[in-house]
Chains A and B, each alone.
Chain A
Amino acid sequence: MFNNLIARAIVPITIAVTGFVVFGCLLLYTFIKSDMTDEAILHVDNLAETVSKSARYAMMQDDRESLRNIVGNVGTLAQVGQIRIYDQEGGIRFSGDPQETAPGAGQQADDPWASKMMQPDYPERTKTNHNIGGDSGLISVSIPILNESKCSTADCHFHSANEPVLGFLTLGISSEPLEKTLDLLRSRMIVFCLMVLFLSIGGVAALLRMNLFLPIFRLTYCAKQAVAGATVKELPKADNKLGRLEKDFRQLVQQRDDALQGWQTTGSSPFDTENGTAFDSRIGTDDAGHRTAAAAGPSQNS
C-alpha cells in the first residue's frame, strides 16, 4: 500500500510538511503566549508600583483612612482580582475586599503562595515575586514594603531598624482575558494550520498527479495495450508530458510493428533477417545513440 510510486512521493512530503507546520505553529503559540504573559506581568507590576507609591505617602503620614481608600478604590477596578496589604507576620491589614478586614475575619493569608513568601526564612522575601497560573486564576505580584530610615524613626509607630521588611503589597489581575485571547489565538492557529496543510499537501498532490502520475499511468496503459498487440496507431494519443521516454516507447512499438509487417510480407522471422536489417533500418534513421552494441557492429564499439 505504501510502497508504490504515489505513496513514495506523497507520504514523505505529507509527514515533513505536516510536522513542520504543526511544530512551527506550536512554537509560535508558545512565543506569543510568553510575550503576552510578560506584557500582563508588566501591566500588573506598573499597577502595583503605582499603588505602592501612593500608599507609601499615606503610610508615612499615618493616614490609614487614605490608605484604606486607595486600596478599596483600586480593588473596585474590573481587572483587579485581588489587592491586599499584609503586615510582616502575614496578617491582612488592608484589602480591596472589605470582608477580609472586617472584625472577626481570619485576617491571615489564605493563599499558599503569599504564605510561603512571607515566611521569615524565605530567601527572596525582600524581592518582588510573581505568581502566574496559580489556583486563584490571577496574575499576581508581591512587592515587599521595605524598612526605611524614615519608617523606623517615625512618630506614628516604631519599627526596629534591623527589620528589613515591614509588610507586603500583593496585587493580582484576572488571567481570564489573557486565557480568552490565547484560546482565540489557538483556535485561529488550528484553522490556519489546517488551511496551510490542505493547500500545501493538496497542491503538491494535485501537481504531482497532473504532471507525473497521470502521464505515467497513461504510458503504463499504453505499454499494456502494446503487449496485448495494439499497433502504434491504435495506442491512445500521446500528451508528451514524459518527453523522450514517451517518444522512445512509441518508436519501439513502431519498430515492432514494422518488423511484424516485414515478417508477414516476406514470410520470415524478423530475428532471421540478415544482420537484423528490419530493426536497423528504423534504428539508424533517428538516433545512432539508440543502436545496440550488436547492431552497431564491432567497429563502432572500439
Chain B
Amino acid sequence: MPDIEPLRLQVQAKIRKFELLSSSGLWILALFTAMSIGASRDFDFLPSLSPEIHEMLGSAPPTNFINWALVLYGFSAIIMVLTQMTGGKKPRGAISHFFYLSAFYTFYHFSGDLHENLWAIFTVGMTILSLQGYHVWNYYKDKVREEQEILAELNKLIEEK
C-alpha cells in the first residue's frame, strides 16, 4: 500500500488555502469601505492633480451620464453575481468590481458631485461585494468540507494500517 502521509499533508494544505480564500470577500469589502471613507473626505489625503493633468484629462462627463452608467453597472453586476451563485461557478471578478466602483468614485469626484452621490455608490458597492463575498464564502466552505471528508477517509485508512 502506498504511503498516505504526503497525500494527507497535501489535503491539509488545500484546506488551509481554501479557508484563507473563503475570507477574501471580506478583505475586498474592507478595502471598499476604506475607499468610501476616503471618498467621503473628497480624497483630501491625496495630492491634488496639477492643472496640466486636469487639462489633459478634459472635462468630466455630465453627472446624469454617470448616474445612468451606475444604474446599468449595478444591475448587471448583481445579475452576474447571482448567476455565478446559482451556477455554482468559481467566484471571479471581486477585484474588478472594486476597480469599477473606484472608477465611479473618481468620475463623481471630477464632476464635483461626489458628495451628492456618495451613498448611492456605497450602497451599490456594498450590495455587489456582499453578494460576491457570500458566494466566495459558500464556495470555499464547500471545498473545505469536501477536503475534510477526504481527510477523514485518509485518517481512517491510516488507522486501519
Is B130 located at the chain interface by the 8 A CB criterion? Answer: yes
The answer to whether residues A19 and B127 also contact, given A3-B138, A12-B85, A27-B67 and a CB cut-off of 8 A, is yes
CA distance A127 to B104 in the complex (A): 31
Are A3 and B141 touching (Cβ within 8 A)?
Answer: yes
Smallest CB separation, B149 vs chain A (Å) = 15
Q: Chain A residues with Cβ under 8 A from B67's Cβ?
A: 27, 30-31
A-B contact count (CB 8 A): 57
Which interface class (under 10, 10 to 19, 20 to 34, 35 or more) fits B? 20 to 34
Contact B119 A26 (CB under 8 A): yes
Q: Which of B66-120 contact A (CB under 8 A)?
A: 67, 70-71, 74-75, 78, 82, 85, 116-117, 119-120
Instruction: Give A2 to B130 CA distance when docked, in angstroms.
Output: 13
A8 at the interface (CB under 8 A from B): yes
Among A2, A22, A30, A34, contact of B134 (Cβ-Cβ < 8 Å)? A2
Q: Main secondary structure on chain A at its contact with chain B?
A: helix
Given A2-B134, A27-B67, A16 and B123 touching (CB < 8 A)? no
Contacts of A11 in B (CB 8 A): 134
Asked whether, in the complex, the Cβ of B134 is within 8 Å of the Cβ of A19, the reply is: no
**Contact pick for A16, options B71, B120, B131, B137, CB 8 Å:** B131
Among A3, A11, A18, A19, the most chain B Cβ lie within 10 Å of the Cβ of A19
Q: Judge if B151 is at the interface, Cβ distance under 8 Å.
A: no
A23 beta carbon closer than 8 Å to chain B:
yes
Q: How far is the CA of A111 from the CA of B124 in the complex (A)?
A: 39
How would you classify the secondary structure of chain B's contact residues: helix, strand, loop or mixed? helix
Contacts of A12 in B (CB 8 A): 82, 85, 131, 134-135
Please tell me which one of the listed residues B71, B128, B141 contacts residue A27 in the complex, with CB atoms under 8 A apart: B71
- Let me know if B74 and A20 touch, CB within 8 A: yes
Chain A residues within an 8 Å CB radius of B123: 19, 22-23, 26
CB within 8 Å of B: which of A7-40? 8, 11-12, 15-16, 18-20, 22-23, 26-27, 30-31, 33-34
Bound: A16/B70 CA distance, A:
15
Q: At the interface, yes or no: B35 with Cβ under 8 Å from chain A?
A: no
**Residue among A11, A15, A33 with max Cβ neighbours from chain B (10 Å):** A15
B126 at the interface (CB under 8 A from A): yes
Cβ contact within 8 Å between B117 and A20: no
Instruction: Please report the total number of A residues contacting B with Cβ < 8 Å.
Output: 18
Is the Cβ of A26 less than 8 Å from the Cβ of B131? no
* A23 / chain B contacts, CB cutoff of 8 Å: 74, 120, 123-124, 127
Residues of B within 8 A of A8 (CB): 138
Residue of B nearest to A19 (CB): B127
Chain B residues packing against A (C-beta within 8 Å): 63, 67, 70-71, 74-75, 78, 82, 85, 116-117, 119-120, 123-124, 126-128, 130-131, 134-135, 137-138, 141
* 11 A–B pairs (Cβ distance < 8 Å), ordered by A: A2-B138, A12-B85, A15-B134, A16-B78, A16-B127, A19-B131, A26-B123, A27-B67, A30-B116, A31-B67, A33-B116
Known: A15-B130, A19-B127. 19 other contacts (CB 8 A): A2-B134, A2-B137, A3-B141, A12-B131, A12-B134, A15-B127, A15-B131, A16-B82, A16-B127, A16-B131, A19-B78, A19-B124, A19-B128, A19-B130, A20-B74, A23-B74, A23-B127, A26-B119, A26-B120
